[in-house]
Amino acid sequence: MKSAEIRSQFLEYFQENGHTIVSSSPLIPGNDPTLLFTNAGMVQFKDVFTGEETRPYHRATTSQRCVRAGGKHNDLENVGYTARHHTFFEMLGNFSFGDYFKEDAIRFAWDFLTKRLGLPEERLWVTVHHSDQEAEDIWIQTIGVDPNRLSRLGDKDNFWSMGDTGPCGPCSEIFYDHGPDVPGGPPGSDDDDLDRYIEIWNLVFMQFEQSADGTRTPLPKPSVDTGMGLERIAAVMQHVHSNYEIDLFQALLKAAAEVTHTQDLEAKSLRVIADHIRSCSFLICDGVLPSNEGRGYVLRRIIRRAIRHGHKLGCDQPFFHKIVHTLVAEMGEAYAELRDNEDRIVAALKQEEAQFAKTLDAGMKVLEDAVSSLTSKTLPGELIFRLYDTHGFPVDLTNDIARERDLELDIAGFEKAMDEQREKSRQGSSFAVEGQVRFDLDGSTEFLGYTHLDASAVVVALAKDGEQVDALAAGDSGIVVLNQTPFYAESGGQQGDIG
Ligand code: GLY
């Protein structure tokens, strides 16, 4: 069964059971400044669970685009290392806002998997929170699940919250057993993180709202929030063990191989690139641009991680933006906004690739030289800082390279170097140092570089030899302050543009 069909079967099944089909919300949560990205289907309904917002329906179903990179649910570092983690994925979900609770949630999930999708019962395994006798009784007595295929687990596995605050509750998860040929043990066993038993669906019994001080207050009405990763259930339905083998990834992997001139379609770096083009394109589509802070920095980290993997495959030309077209062909039908924003996505990625290309080679050389003379298994903090500050290597990019070589990072040393840098710039901003001039001006220079490579501008101020001046003559060297510019300024470890 193709992914698109699973998606539509899911939505239809829940519609037949009284749920309203609601469109995916954007990746930037409109209702929650504390949350970096939409990381689950329930995010757009957060205020409905707490009773602050009402909707004309009590049951909803969605296929929600999600990003799990940065923040509480962060899978960035796992991408490329496991068969089932992604920075971007689609979450199928059904929701009850004070309507049905545990018994119906469990029955709907079981019926969808075993009757609609036809999965054999003996391939499914369930877990409940160790305190949740009610859920356990429903699974064993009402549904008839074999008690030998049920595990009781603690908060780490079976208590779900969206972030540090917000609706939360105990959950019950359904796992699929990929069979004895695949290594791994059932949930709760020592080797449950291997690939045999894979969590496919999480049923959250929303009962509390968590506040910033950690206290939990009961929600007005117990509710249900479920999440099933489309890519994982597609792997089950398509009889493959890795999400990267499902239909949704085939064209992307091929396109990534083509633009990086890679023959080996199994290369781990191709999977990283195929994963990252999805999160990066959807993030840009939803209004994020690469920058040095907040959401923009997470995007920059993902793009640079992808570019480094291209570099690892031997690619020394910009390639990443060239895959957008294939992504739009694959997903533009389900997400029209992706198609509408294709040009903008390509332009932003191209710009970031051009910028990182200036420092990547030199940074890799610094790193290789340092690795070849290492006397321990740890990359020193000073080096991590230099790569970050001078060559624009986000720390997780350096970590990704280190992990490939079985090395660790001296994060404490990196943070110390960062603190020293902050202290220096704090002092530098109160005392003029050579080459710096303090201008007394209002406003800031608008950066146009994501969309323009040239532009007209107004000269706002001039300086020469450390002093503000009214004019510069031909042949003088000085500083020009403009109201707007497509030139990227030197900052946050990036070199400034030259032109
Ligand atoms: N909201 C349920 C989950 O993300 O697993």
DSSP helix/strand/coil, 65: strand
Residue nearest to atom 3 of ligand 1 (CA): 227
Ligand 1 atom at minimum distance from 91 CA: 4
* DSSP β-bridge partners for residue 247: none
d(CA 156, ligand 1 centre) in Å: 13
Which atom of ligand 1 lies closest to the CA of 40?
4
**C-alpha 40 to ligand 1 mean position (Å):** 5
**Helix, strand and coil percent figures for the chain, each rounded to 5:** 45, 20, 35
227 Cα–ligand 1 center, Å? 5
- Give pLDDT, residue 491: 58
Pocket test for ligand 1, best of 45, 67, 85, 171 (most atoms within 8 A of CB): 171
The encoded tokens of residue 469 equal 């001046």
Distance from residue 93's CA to the centre of ligand 1 (Å) = 8
- Ligand 1 centroid, distance to 204 Cα (angstroms): 7
Nearest CA to ligand 1 atom 2: 227
Q: Pocket around ligand 1: residues whose beta carbon is below 6 Å from it?
A: 40, 42, 160, 202, 204, 225, 227
The residue whose C-alpha atom lies closest to atom 4 belonging to ligand 1 is 40
Q: Which residues of the chain have pLDDT under 50?
A: 430-433
Query: From ligand 1's centre to the CA of 225, what distance in Å?
Result: 7
Distance of CA 104 to the CA centre of its chain: 31
Phi-psi map region of 144: left, alpha, beta (phi>0 left; psi -120 to 50 alpha) = left
Task: State the maximum Cα–Cα separation within the chain, in Å, rounded to a whole number.
Answer: 89
| Residue 381 tokens, joined | 């903090």
Distances in whole angstroms, Cα of residue 300 to Cα of each of 74, 305, 307, 326:
15, 8, 10, 21
161 CA distance to ligand 1 middle (Å): 8
- Spatial separation of the C-alpha atoms in residues 207 and 205, rounded to whole Å: 6
Secondary structure letter of residue 440 according to DSSP: -
Compute the distance between CA of residue 199 and CA of residue 351 in angstroms, rounded to an integer. Answer: 38
Mutation probe of ligand 1 site: the residue of 48, 63, 160 with most atoms within 8 A of C-beta: 160
CA dist 70 and 50 (Å) reads 25
Q: From the CA atom positions of the chain, what is the Rg in Å?
A: 26
For 217-244, give the DSSP string. EEEEEEEEEEEEEHHHHHHHHTT-SSGG
Write down the pLDDT at residue 476. 84
Dist. CA 60 → ligand 1 center (Å): 15
Ligand 1 pocket test, pick from 204, 205, 207, 233 with the greatest ligand atom count within 8 Å of Cβ, gives: 204
Q: Which residues make beta-bridge pairs with 201?
A: 174, 228
CA–CA distance, 246 with 275 (Å, rounded to integer): 12
Q: Which atom of ligand 1 is nearest to the CA of 42?
A: 1
The tokens for 31 are 């209702």
Helix (H) or strand (E) holding 255: helix 247-260
According to DSSP, residue 115 is labeled: I
Length of the chain: 499
Top mutation candidate among 172, 201, 225, 230 for ligand 1, by most atoms within 8 Å of CB: 225
Residue type, 40: A
What's the CA-to-centroid distance between 336 and ligand 1, angstroms? 25
Q: Which atom of ligand 1 approaches the CA of 202 most closely?
A: 5
Atom of ligand 1 nearest to the CA of 226: 2
pTM here is 0.80
Find tokens 């409109």 and name the residue.
30
Residue 173 CA to ligand 1 centre (angstroms): 10
399 membership: H or E segment, kind and range: helix 395-404
Q: Which atom of ligand 1 is nearest to the CA of 66?
A: 4
pLDDT tens, residue by residue, 74-132 = 889 889 888 889 999 999 999 999 999 999 999 999 999 999 999 999 999 999 999 99
Distance 116 CA to ligand 1 centre (A): 22
CB 44 within 8 A of CB 66: no
